[in-house]
Amino acid sequence: MSMFLSLKDAVARFVRSGDRVALEGFTHLIPFAAGHEIIRQRLTDLTLIRMTPDLLYDQMIGSGCAKKLIFSWGGNPGVGSLHRLREAVEKQWPAPLEIEEHSHSAMAHAYAAGAAGMPAAFFRGYRGSDLAKVNPNIRFITCPFTGESLAAVPALRPDVGIVHAQQADRDGNVRVSGIVGVQKEVVLASARVIVTVEEVVDRVADGGSNAVVLPSWTIDAIAVVPGGARPSYAHGYYQRDNAFYVAWDAISRDRDAFRQWIDTHVHGVAAEVR
């Protein structure tokens, strides 16, 4: 059952060094504030899970939070490479980063399988791809009806799932609108769940609306963090800060510029203010 906590307390209480952690949000609703709090609390040895590691994971990897990354596309969308991720993979800085690499379809199926209480996901995938040669977690089964070979990947079941959403009601139910990505799946697949929200409202749902609503009993902590997805965006609240995505390219190319940015914009800010 969800409880309202400060972001600082939510992270302190529900995230531990060594955890398998998924911060999700498909371009939209990326939980930057929560990721920054993880950096601030200097958590380490995390297995970071995310379909599209982008600026937030670049920041977390560059800050030394991660020992492993499970992902399917790592880039700065519309801009270019993630320099901190590349340096971790290519030069083991600030530490070696083990990677487990999938396709988007595999990750989406694996989150859905986690939400559905399945040990694995089965799908038509990875046919003719070398990914199956470098990732031992890509296996194949034979369809018992057609004899066809089908791909299998383990269900994703993070220790902690973290998402940002637009609204929570006073009972702690949460609503996500717009591009919903895998927000519902990561919440339902995770053992512990933190949701940051833009605001608290009286009602998150109306009869018959088929909205994407997460009941309070699927969530552990809710932190009210207006702007908690910046520089990504929150449908109905604020736009994506495209200029920052472009600016990140230069900041992240250089270790010192990167460190300075983290010192100033993450460690230098209190959790509540960010």
In the complex, minimum distance from the CB of residue 242 to another protein, in angstroms, rounded to a whole number: 5
Contact between 13 and 5 under an 8 Å Cβ cutoff? The reply is: yes
In the complex, minimum distance from the CB of residue 94 to another protein, in angstroms, rounded to a whole number: 16
Cβ closer to another protein: 39 or 187?
A: 187
Q: Does 154 bind another protein (CB under 8 A)?
A: no
Calpha distance 137→94 (Å, rounded): 26
Calpha distance 112→67 (Å, rounded): 25
Cβ count within 10 A of residue 211:
12
Phi, psi of 72 (to 5 degrees): -130, -15
- Whose CA is closest to 152, among 130, 119, 116? 119
Cβ closer to another protein: 206 or 256?
A: 206
Cβ closer to a copy of itself: 206 or 256?
A: 206
Q: What is the DSSP letter of 233?
A: B
Of residues 26, 93, 122, 140, which one binds another protein by CB under 8 A? Answer: 26
Calpha distance 67→51 (Å, rounded): 17
In the complex, minimum distance from the CB of residue 236 to a copy of itself, in angstroms, rounded to a whole number: 7
Among a copy of itself, another protein, none, the one that 91 touches (CB under a kind-dependent 5 to 8 A) is: none
Q: Does 231 bind another protein (CB under 8 A)?
A: no
In the complex, minimum distance from the CB of residue 130 to another protein, in angstroms, rounded to a whole number: 5
Cβ closer to another protein: 242 or 260?
A: 242
Cβ closer to a copy of itself: 63 or 135?
A: 135
Q: Which residues make Cβ contacts (< 8 Å) with residue 101, sequence separation at least 6? A: 70, 71, 72, 131, 134, 135
Question: Please, how many CA atoms are within 13 Å of residue 243, restricted to the half-sphere of its CB?
Answer: 0
Q: Does 182 bind another protein (CB under 8 A)?
A: yes
Q: Which residues make Cβ contacts (< 8 Å) with residue 254, sequence separation at least 6? A: none
Calpha distance 54→22 (Å, rounded): 13
Cβ closer to another protein: 15 or 176?
A: 176
Among a copy of itself, another protein, none, the one that 144 touches (CB under a kind-dependent 5 to 8 A) is: a copy of itself
Show contacts with another protein in window 95-134 (CB under 8 A). 101-105, 108-109, 111-112, 115-118, 123-131, 134
Calpha distance 182→148 (Å, rounded): 28
Show contacts with another protein in window 252-271 (CB under 8 A). none
Cβ closer to another protein: 74 or 228?
A: 74
Q: Does 64 bind another protein (CB under 8 A)?
A: no
Contacting positions for a copy of itself (CB under 8 A): 116-120, 122-124, 137, 139-146, 148, 150, 152, 154, 177-178, 180, 208-212, 235-236
Tokens of 79: 């801009």
Cis-peptide into 94, omega within 30 deg: yes
